[in-house]
């Protein structure tokens, strides 16, 4: 493996051709990911409950982007609390913070961002919006900067002329910009080091087909889409070098929760001698959890499996189990790429050495 960092120019406006999360004119604007790739429409959100609903309904998704949206949601909550209660805004804001925190249970960045925003409360004198907006923007900017660092490290870890497979969407749509897993793919493509990029459809929401393929093609990166069930056959017949995925929560020992189907990919990758890379910022680590057994896994409405495009696809009377995430044991992961450094062959000691603990 080539372990040299790849240079990525952070300041270039051409690194991604859109912004999925943006504060503009006193409101949060979100690219509504439920409508892609057919329509590009933005939601303008002016209240914290609206932000919580957008997070729950997956108008915005991806652990880092959820955290950033929640940080801006705290700003909106503080504005409303100040208008209602003046100097009593700290007490008045609590219901909105609880609503935001409950919007998605697995993505740790959501609660991390709210906790960080809360940490600013005691130092604020008077009207809180300006100080909290500065903190939310800092969270946003830091995430994007971390993505560039991870892109350099991850692309440098890949072999030359690599064929890679990714699952779900861990790009600029899912982060503050540039992406985690897709940031690595973008950086490797920029230096001409990719032979092929394969993308799983990612059932049942089709984030790979609808979002990742849209995002990469928009930036001129060729994509080959495949059904999730074809991944093992792809590894056996087409010489994949590395699976690259993001993460929604990582335990202290390196066990990683990500979109459902990631665990199955890790097992297939190990069976076929394919490297397995997780790309995630430090905010995705939950060091309070010893292992993946402690990670809460969100289950969503069975209708997401039983129906597609508003139409039933299952026999009448069938039921469905719809876990949104699964947990990949650290022993199946070759490297976790963070902005703080690489964690190769992750375990509790190696995670603590890089992330802290």
Residue 16 has pLDDT above 70, yes or no: no
Backbone region of residue 261 per phi and psi (left: phi > 0; alpha: psi in -120 to 50; beta: other values):
left
The reported pTM is: 0.90
Across 18-23, average pLDDT = 93
Give pLDDT, residue 7: 53
**Roughly how many angstroms between the first and final C-alpha of the chain, as a whole number?**
29
Q: Please, what is the average pLDDT of the chain?
A: 94
Q: How do residues 244-294 score in pLDDT, each as one tens digit?
A: 999 999 999 999 999 999 999 999 999 999 999 999 999 999 999 999 999
Helix axes 108-118, 63-85, angle to 10 degrees: 40
Q: How do residues 157-200 score in pLDDT, each as one tens digit?
A: 999 999 999 999 999 999 999 999 999 999 999 999 999 999 99
Across 107-126, average pLDDT = 94
Domains within the chain, CATH numbers bracketed: 13-143 (1.20.120.420), 148-355 (3.40.50.10470)
- CA 74 vs. chain centroid, Å, equals 20
Give pLDDT, residue 309: 82
Q: State how far the Cα of 176 lies from the Cα of 253, in Å rounded to an integer.
A: 26
Residue 12's pLDDT band (cuts 50, 70, 90): very low
Residue 27 DSSP SS3: strand
Q: State how far the Cα of 19 lies from the Cα of 40, in Å rounded to an integer.
A: 11
Contact 221/185 with Cβ under 8 angstroms? yes
> In the structure encoding, which two tokens stand for residue 298, read together?
């969100």
Give the chain's length.
357
Q: Is 248 a catalytic residue?
A: yes
Contact 63/107 with Cβ under 8 angstroms? yes
Residue 14 has pLDDT above 60, yes or no: no
Which of 119-132 are b and which e, b meaning 16 or more Cβ less than 10 Å from the residue's Cβ?
ebeeebeeebbebb
Give pLDDT, residue 106: 80
Which residue in the list 96, 219, 248, 326 is annotated as catalytic? Answer: 248
Give pLDDT, residue 56: 95
Give pLDDT, residue 320: 97
Residue 13's pLDDT band (cuts 50, 70, 90): very low
Residue 3 has pLDDT above 60, yes or no: no
> In the structure encoding, which two tokens stand for residue 4, read together?
């040299």
**Closest by Cα among 106, 37, 40 to 67:** 106
> In the structure encoding, which two tokens stand for residue 329, read together?
């044991």
Q: State how far the Cα of 322 lies from the Cα of 335, in Å rounded to an integer.
A: 28
Give pLDDT, residue 2: 42
Give pLDDT, residue 105: 84
Across 325-331, average pLDDT = 98
Q: State how far the Cα of 85 lies from the Cα of 98, in Å rounded to an integer.
A: 18
Residue 47's pLDDT band (cuts 50, 70, 90): very high
* H or E element at residue 75: helix 63-85
Residue 11 has pLDDT above 70, yes or no: no
When mean pLDDT is compared across 5-19, 160-174, 220-234, 257-271, the lowest value belongs to 5-19
Q: State how far the Cα of 197 lies from the Cα of 212, in Å rounded to an integer.
A: 11
Q: What angle do CA 85, 71, 170 make, to 5 degrees?
A: 160
Residue 9's pLDDT band (cuts 50, 70, 90): low
Across 9-37, average pLDDT = 81
The string of DSSP codes covering 267-328 is HHHHHTT-EEEEE--GGGEETT-SSGGGS---B--THHHHEETTEE-S-TT-----BSEEEE
Q: How do residues 131-161 score in pLDDT, each as one tens digit?
A: 999 999 999 999 999 999 999 999 999 999 9
């Amino acid at each position: 493996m080539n372990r040299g960092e790849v240079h990525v120019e952070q300041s270039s406006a051409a690194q991604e051709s859109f912004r999925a999360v943006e504060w503009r004119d006193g409101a949060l604007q979100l690219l509504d990911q439920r409508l892609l790739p057919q329509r590009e429409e933005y939601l303008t959100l002016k209240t914290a409950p609206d932000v919580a609903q957008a997070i729950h309904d997956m108008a915005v998704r991806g652990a880092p982007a959820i955290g950033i949206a929640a940080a801006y949601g705290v700003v909106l909550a503080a504005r409303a609390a100040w208008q209602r209660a003046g100097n009593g805004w700290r007490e008045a804001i609590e219901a909105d913070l609880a609503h935001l925190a409950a919007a998605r249970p697995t993505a740790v960045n959501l609660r991390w961002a709210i906790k960080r925003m809360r940490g600013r409360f005691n130092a604020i004198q008077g009207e809180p919006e300006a100080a909290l907006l500065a903190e939310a923007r800092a969270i946003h900017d830091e995430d994007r900067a971390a993505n560039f660092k991870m892109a350099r490290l991850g692309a440098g870890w890949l072999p030359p002329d690599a064929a890679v497979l990714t699952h779900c969407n861990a790009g600029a749509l899912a982060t503050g910009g540039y992406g985690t897993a897709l940031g690595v793919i973008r950086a490797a493509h920029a230096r001409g080091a990719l032979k092929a990029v394969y993308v799983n459809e990612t059932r049942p929401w089709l984030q790979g087909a609808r979002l990742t393929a849209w995002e990469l093609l928009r930036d001129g990166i060729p994509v080959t889409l495949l059904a999730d069930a074809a991944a093992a056959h792809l590894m056996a017949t087409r010489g994949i070098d590395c699976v690259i995925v993001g993460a929604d929560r990582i335990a202290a020992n390196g066990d990683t929760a990500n979109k459902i189907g990631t665990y199955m990919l890790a097992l297939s990758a190990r069976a076929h001698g394919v490297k397995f890379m997780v790309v995630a910022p430090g905010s995705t680590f939950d060091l309070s959890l010893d292992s993946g057994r402690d990670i809460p896994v969100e289950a969503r409405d069975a209708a997401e499996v039983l129906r597609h495009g508003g139409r039933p696809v299952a026999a009448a009377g069938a039921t469905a189990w719809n876990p949104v995430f699964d947990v990949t044991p650290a022993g199946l992961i070759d490297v976790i790429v963070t902005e703080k450094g690489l964690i190769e062959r992750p375990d509790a000691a190696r995670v603590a050495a890089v992330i802290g603990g």
